[in-house]
Amino acid sequence: MSLYYDAVSVLTAPATTGGSFKSRIYNSKTLKSSPAQVFALVTEASKWDVLLKEVIENAGILSLEPKLTPLLALLLVHDHLLSKNGIAAPATHPLRQAVERHKVRLKGEFTKARVRRACASLEDLQAAIIREKKAAGGAGISEAMYPRWVRVNNVKTTLDAQLQSTFASYSRVQSLAELTEGQHQLYVDVNVPDLVAVPPGIDFSSSPAYKQGEIILQDKASCFPAYLLLGDQNTQWEGDLIDGCAAPGNKTTHLASLLSSGASKQRSAKGPAIFSMDASPTRSKTLQKMVSVAGADKIVTVLAGQDFLALDPEDSRFESVTGLLLDPSCSGSGIIGRDDVPQLVLPTNSKKTETRGKKRKRRDDEREKDTDHSTVTTAAQSTSVDTERLTKLANLQTHIVEHALSFPAAKCVTYSTCSIHVQENESVVARVLASEVAKRRGWRIMRRDEQPEGLKKWKHRGIRSDASRPGGSDSAVDLSEEELDACLRCWPGDDEGTGGFFVAGFVRDEAAVRVAETDRSRIDDQRSPGSDVPDEYEDDEDEEEWEGFSD
């Protein structure tokens, strides 16, 4: 029964740590059950909660079984009715017996609910429930309503091959809005090559293509950095690449996929190499595994446990590095599901049981508090912004990008976050462009007209301040309209089906290098004790010191 008590604990506990709901489950030190099982139970139950509430209430089991709380009842009845293996507990366990004593009544109410919705199959029934939940939620879109994005891995296959195999039974639609929950439909994305979307809920875990690394599940927004860096690949990429903050490996394998498509297929045996690294040894193991499954071993060299900031740009290994992809630690404020524990609609007990006068000792796995609430109540989402943490993160992010600009052969760098805060995004871009290394080496932002064709068409661009958002700052960043238009943004909850994301590209401009060097020489010639040199040319000694990793 630990599975159900673990699920209750993660649903009712306040979010005291950062990260998405899924990552908090997988990083938990207190769960007795497999994190994968807990996450699967919670997410699947959340898809059926409206129906399960109806079945449990009509069956009346809460008034007949005082040991069952509404939340435990919903989780247990879900597995009793919908799991292939039934309730994951011994047949003699009291709570399993409390449900199975009413199996005839529960089965009958479940059948009635399906008939009322005129659904011939479970797949049709789930689609009907999702539609009901969507209608009840109004304009809000829950995590379950986002499409499932699938990237075709060109290292092992092609989009055409997958359309004729993995997606052979899928009908093609022309927009995300046409995707219908529970249906085998497919939308081919217009912004990122070899990316498709299918309705939520479709499981690829047992698909041969997924197991063999031919398809990779990756949010559309996180595909932007690699595509922005390598472009449409009409010509062969010259030089090597670095993914500086790489785990779990989606962006590294996307780089490898792009290098394996188009004109890059004609590259020499010595063609571009990718150095991929993550400072965490544990996360590096995940990175190595993903690279291996994706078949990118021959292209990618994983530097396990390597901190990007500790790399020496002058190291001979990196003398041919011309492109760097940076997706450093951030607040994660754009992640769909961050601090958004599924709010299950729970059954109510028509007969409230009397509170017992005697206190009794309960086992650790029976500590769930009784509740008659109609939804699971969790810690309220805070609209306040932790400005101190954002400042530390922005300092780190700026430091990382400036370090990348110092690699001798570098000609293109992309910077991205899964944050919606200007302080981590446009403000970092402004600080980088104003840095000494950017001026000295001629770095500027990659303009919209220089971006790959698919991203030129992306409508969401940079913003000047957070003033329009709750808890946002009204301070504006010092970027021109052209520079803001060069920044790409994604917003969670809109009709694009992505999480919140930001990406910008930086490119070397030889003309800018010469101008910067000329100006620096002129200033050095004019400089003398007491001379009045414009502040923008002085070294920024007052810049906040980088305070290291905060996560």
Instruction: Give me the half-sphere count of Cα atoms (radius 13 Å) on the Cβ side of residue 273.
Output: 12
Edge-to-edge, what's the strand order for the sheet holding 171-172? Answer: 171-172, 185-188, 195-198, 148-152, 215-217
Q: Nearest Cα to 222, choosing from 199, 240, 243?
A: 243
What value, to the nearest 5°, has the Cα angle with vertex 132 and ends 60 and 334?
Answer: 115
Strands 501-508 and 488-490, how do they pair? antiparallel
Alpha-helix runs per DSSP H in 60-164: 61-64, 70-82, 94-100, 103-116, 122-136, 159-163
- DSSP H or E segment with residue 26: helix 21-26
**CB-based contact 182:136 (threshold 8 Å):** no
Cα Rg, the chain, nearest whole Å: 27
Annotated catalytic residue, options 245, 418, 487, 490: 418
CA distances (Å), origin 341, targets 52, 199, 330, 382 = 19, 21, 20, 13
- CB-CB contact of 327 with 416 (8 Å): yes
Q: Is 418 a catalytic residue?
A: yes
* Strands 195-198 and 274-278, sheet pairing: unpaired
Spatial CB neighbours of 534, under 8 Å, sequence gap ≥ 6? none
List active site positions: 418
